[in-house]
Amino acid sequence: MSEPAKSPGQPPVFWITVVASVITLGVLIARIAWAGSQAAAIAIGLATVIVIVGLVLAFVALSMRRRLGDLASAFPGAMIIPITVGHELADTSKRIAQVLGDDRVALRPTSYAALAVDGDGLHVASDHPGGFGLITRDRVTVDGYGRSLLGARAMTSLRLRISTDEGDIEFPFVPMWIRGNPARQLTPAEFAELSANILRALSGEAVPSGWPH
């Protein structure tokens, strides 16, 4: 299996989004400055950004930790992996769910989910009212690395190949970093370790439980 790209280049839409966000913030600060002092405008703008980002990150962290805790309780000893769900993975998971006849496998785009890997296969936690979905281990193969678009950012993903009666379906997921900066990517060495542990978990071997990143 080839090494994942160390630093995949971002598509134009990523930089367009960054520039548009900066321009929008600049216009907001300028309008406030026009009505009052420049120092107050800058302070208000920065404070607003910091508060919004902090609230979003706190909500995501609390929600993900709850989901990881639920998975760990349901599948003791399983390898737990938090993931970010983009449109590509959401579409793929819906196709897999349809073929396997298990709606619990389907994921919502622009959301977060979690996987538990053990000797039974790949358990999917997506806040489905029916509980956790399952893709049995005989259907799952670790198939290398790729790139997935999450919002406007291209990120390295780990590809699983899911065997179905209608052919193989790719399941590319981006592991989520929940300790510190959530936008951080796993290093190539961490991706390699993750791949090896998934293979071990699927074969029924003991692997480190929880999520170290």
List the domain boundaries for the chain.
Answer: 12-202
Phi, psi dihedral angles at 151 (to 5 degrees): 65, -115
Render each residue's pLDDT in the chain as its tens digit; 213 residues. 544 444 444 444 445 555 666 666 666 666 666 666 666 666 666 666 666 666 565 556 666 667 677 777 888 888 989 888 888 899 999 999 999 999 999 998 877 888 999 999 999 987 777 788 999 999 999 998 988 877 667 788 999 999 999 999 999 999 887 766 666 788 888 999 999 999 999 999 988 776 777
User: In 3D, which of 185, 181, 209, 179 has the Cα closest to residue 197?
Assistant: 209
Question: What pLDDT is recorded for position 186?
Answer: 85
Number of other residues whose CB lies within 10 A of the CB of residue 76 = 9
Could you tell me the two tokens for 168?
């193989």
The pLDDT tens digits of the residues spanning 85-103 come to 888 899 999 999 999 999 9
Question: What pLDDT is recorded for position 7?
Answer: 44
Residue 141's SS3 state is: strand
* This prediction's pTM: 0.71
User: In 3D, which of 84, 127, 83, 121 has the Cα closest to residue 104?
Assistant: 127
The pLDDT tens digits of the residues spanning 28-63 come to 666 666 666 666 666 666 666 666 666 565 556 666
Burial class (CB in 10 A: 0-12, 13-18, 19+), 84: buried
User: In 3D, which of 195, 191, 194, 143 has the Cα closest to residue 4?
Assistant: 191
